Chains A and B, each alone.
Chain A
Amino acid sequence: MNSVASIFDAFPVDKVRRDFPILSSNVHGKPLVYLDNAASNQKPKPVLDAIQDYYTAQHSNVHRGVHFLSGLATEKYEEARIKVRNYINAGSENEIIFVRGATEAINLAAAVFGKKNLEQGDEVLITELEHHSNIVPWQMICEEKGARLRVAPINDSGEVMLDKFESMLTSNVKIAAISHVSNALGTVNPVKQMIEMAHRKKIPVLVDGAQAMPHLRVDVRDLDADFYVFSSHKVFGPTGIGVLYGKAQLLESLPPYQGGGDMIKSVTFEKTVFNDIPYKFEAGTPHIEGAVGLGAAIDYLNSFDWRIVQDYEQALLKFAEKEISKIDGLKIIGTAKEKAGVISFVMEDIHPHDVGTILDSEGIAIRTGHHCAQPVMERFGIPATARASFAFYNTREEIHALVQSIQKVKEIFAHV
């Protein structure tokens, strides 16, 4: 076990920060302290360059073109698919579907899986920790099919109660959808174990990996996830693109999502023959520069030794929890044993929005509100939290700035 000091020394955070141009900017005349990474993280220079290069020298529409640039754009787009495949260790690049983001990925999976497999009286099992994007698409398809959405509860620390989850995996459940890491609380779910539980009952599992991907190295085959979804903009890539991974056999069994170009083999007015996966699920001109940018982000992430990154992030999280919990009248919401990247907190008599505004005036960006997880807020009996969320480019100095500014919030509100 390395000492904490050597963990901090092992990761060259100052050098890493220089890769992210926005991190050296000022906000309200103060150096930016960006602690809203769970909402979206910032982009390194190689990602910005890749997008610029793409439009400067490589752009045309993909697939079916006979000219040079169309070939080049197709190559870049498909190269990105292979990078994603390798990064999450999928079995084949055909299992990587590009979508707009994790939300669209879940909507796609819920719609086509539900269309094929859900009937009156069936159940979909989720957990109480989910982001709205892993609740609402299932609610919609359940309503359409007369199926029932069931919710596995969490305990007071914000951990899924595994015995309850397992007992709710009845023969009525046709699919389970669970988050890998909670966006509101930072809880890391034991998804591998949960998938095993579901698979013992022959129930497939969709894992929402939006908050896991920036913090953990994910191996979808090791997890044995049936679907795994994530957003590019939360792994240091551009907005507007994300990934739906699905096991090839499962994807092949499902009907298409949207109709249009690229998703067909042949069209007549009488009959359309759909394309093979992944194209069957990618109607229309895709977000080509998004895929290129995501590919560059993955290359960038691959340049790190992830054991060092993860040790650094965990040490930073522990440091932040220790420093923040010293503040009188502050309560951390979400105290799971396994956490990643997130500290949600509330302050006695001070609303999170007031905390957020005062921190902003100090150049500190945090998020306040319900974090698109209203059931989680309800579970803890609070309307909202203030949430500081970290990436590997954050520092102990930034945590100090956060703590000092929270003290300032208290001073302002004590002044009556």
Chain B
Amino acid sequence: MSDLKALYQEVILDHNKNPRNFKKLEDADYSVEGYNPLCGDHYTVYLKMKGDVISEITFIGSGCAISKASASVMSTVLKGKTLTEVESLFNEFHHLVRGEIKDDVSIEKLGKLAAFGGISEFPVRVKCAILPWHTMKNAIDKKNETVSTE
């Protein structure tokens, strides 16, 4: 039960129920789809850039609480970040959900993203959390193919 509480934290349940930046961005520079066919999680991430800074990031789509909250939190965290910062957050988020960041100080530094630390106890759900991130990354890398993390 304690593991479950760590998985379904308030932040995650809240972002699932009231996803932020949950809309299509009409004048987006990039939009890429992410789709995990086995579970049906399906999102499109929209990005608008100003130089090498993300000036707008939104998403639409549907899926489980973990994937939707992950997309929502990601959108709030990445707005205003440079591509270098995005790259580093992308890596840190992966380390976090795979249980590779152990010390509390490093986890705390991740702010709202820290809520996803509990996923490391549920290995089959890691793919849900990272789907929006891989979708965003493909948009930045200007790859237009649909992403899957299965």
Using CB atoms and an 8 Å cutoff, list the residues of chain A in contact with chain B.
349-354, 357-358, 361, 368-370, 374, 377, 383-384, 412-413, 415-416
Q: Are B39 and A353 in contact (CB under 8 A)?
A: yes
**Residues of chain B lying within 8 A (CB to CB) of residue A354:** 8, 64-66
Q: List 11 A-B contacts (CB under 8 A).
A: A352-B64, A353-B125, A354-B64, A369-B38, A369-B39, A370-B37, A370-B38, A412-B4, A412-B8, A415-B10, A416-B17
Q: Are B39 and A368 in contact (CB under 8 A)?
A: yes
Q: Which 5 A-B pairs have CB atoms at the shortest separation, nearest pair first?
A: A383-B40, A351-B64, A353-B64, A416-B13, A384-B40
Q: Are B62 and A383 in contact (CB under 8 A)?
A: yes
**Residues of chain A lying within 8 A (CB to CB) of residue B38:** 369-370
Looking at the assembled complex, report how far the CB atom of B105 sits from the nearest CB atom of chain A, in whole angstroms. Answer: 28
Looking at the assembled complex, report how far the CB atom of A134 sits from the nearest CB atom of chain B, in whole angstroms. Answer: 19
> In residues 29-47 of chain B, which contact A (Cβ within 8 Å)?
37-42
Alpha-carbon gap, A350 to B16, bound state (A): 10
Using CB atoms and an 8 Å cutoff, list the residues of chain B in contact with chain A.
1, 3-4, 7-8, 10, 13-14, 16-17, 37-42, 62-66, 122, 124-125, 128
Q: Are A353 and B1 in contact (CB under 8 A)?
A: no
**Residues of chain A lying within 8 A (CB to CB) of residue B62:** 383
**Residues of chain A lying within 8 A (CB to CB) of residue B42:** 383
Alpha-carbon gap, A413 to B39, bound state (A): 19
Alpha-carbon gap, A151 to B40, bound state (A): 23
Point out the residue from B10, B14, B65, B122 that lies within 8 Å of A350, measured CB to CB.
B65
Looking at the assembled complex, report how far the CB atom of B146 sits from the nearest CB atom of chain A, in whole angstroms. Answer: 15
Q: Are B13 and A353 in contact (CB under 8 A)?
A: no
Q: Are A351 and B65 in contact (CB under 8 A)?
A: yes
Alpha-carbon gap, A357 to B6, bound state (A): 13
**Residues of chain A lying within 8 A (CB to CB) of residue B16:** 416
Given contacts A353-B64, A353-B128, A354-B65, contact A416 B40 (CB under 8 A): no
Looking at the assembled complex, report how far the CB atom of B22 sits from the nearest CB atom of chain A, in whole angstroms. Answer: 14
